[in-house]
């Protein structure tokens, strides 16, 4: 009986100390999103890697972003394709058609996006970066 408990304790210890498998190296990534004139852009940035995805929202006043994998800033190291799209489809309040609103029709004219359409797709954006262990920076300048 003592041998059984000894073997069980040894097995549990081995699992505890070795874990369930090797973890992949991770890093963090931050940067800024700016337009062709260097002005900050509010954007939704998506990163697609071979084994993982991550995303961020850039700050509208500074263009700064920090990539997140869920709630964690630690991203699996590797090569990523990037897409950048408009944060929201909010309409310009100046362009609101209040007569149409009252009639139940179209209510506004959408704002023009500061982000060229080519950046919306991973395969068309031409943007990619490699995340390595530790801190990484990748600034995105939209042309």
| 10 inside domain | no
Decide if pLDDT at 96 tops 80: no
CATH of the domain at 59: 2.60.40.1120
> What total number of domains does the chain contain?
1
Q: What is the pLDDT of residues 6-56, one digit of tens each?
A: 433 444 443 444 445 568 999 999 999 999 999 999 999 999 999 889 999
In the prediction, which pLDDT does 88 show? 63
Decide if pLDDT at 66 tops 90: yes
Which residue did the predictor score with more confidence, 3 or 131?
131
In the prediction, which pLDDT does 114 show? 77
| 18 inside domain | no
| 1 inside domain | no
Instruction: Give the pLDDT band (50/70/90) at residue 118.
Output: very high
**CA-wise closest residue to 132 among 77, 80, 81, 76:** 77
In the prediction, which pLDDT does 113 show? 74
> How is 2-62 classified by DSSP, letter by letter?
HHHHHHHHHHHHHHHHH-SSPPPPEEEEEEEEE-TTS-B--EEEEEEESS-EEEEE--TTT
| 122 inside domain | yes
| 79 inside domain | yes
Domain span holding position 83: 24-141
| 76 inside domain | yes
| 80 inside domain | yes
Which residue did the predictor score with more confidence, 60 or 101?
60
| 19 inside domain | no
């Amino acid at each position: 009986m003592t041998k059984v408990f000894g073997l069980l304790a040894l097995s549990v210890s081995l699992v505890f100390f070795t874990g369930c498998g090797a973890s992949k190296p991770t890093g963090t990534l931050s940067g800024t999103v700016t337009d062709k004139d260097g002005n900050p852009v509010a954007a939704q940035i998506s990163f697609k890697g071979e084994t993982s995805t991550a995303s961020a929202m850039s700050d509208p006043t500074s263009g700064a972003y920090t990539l997140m994998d869920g709630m964690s800033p630690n991203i699996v190291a590797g090569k990523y394709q990037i897409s950048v799209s408009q944060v929201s489809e909010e309409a310009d309040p100046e362009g609101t058609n209040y007569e149409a609103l009252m009639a139940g029709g179209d209510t506004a004219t959408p704002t023009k996006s500061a982000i060229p359409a080519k950046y919306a797709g991973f395969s068309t954006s031409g943007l990619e970066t490699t995340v390595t262990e530790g801190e990484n920076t990748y600034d995105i300048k939209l042309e």
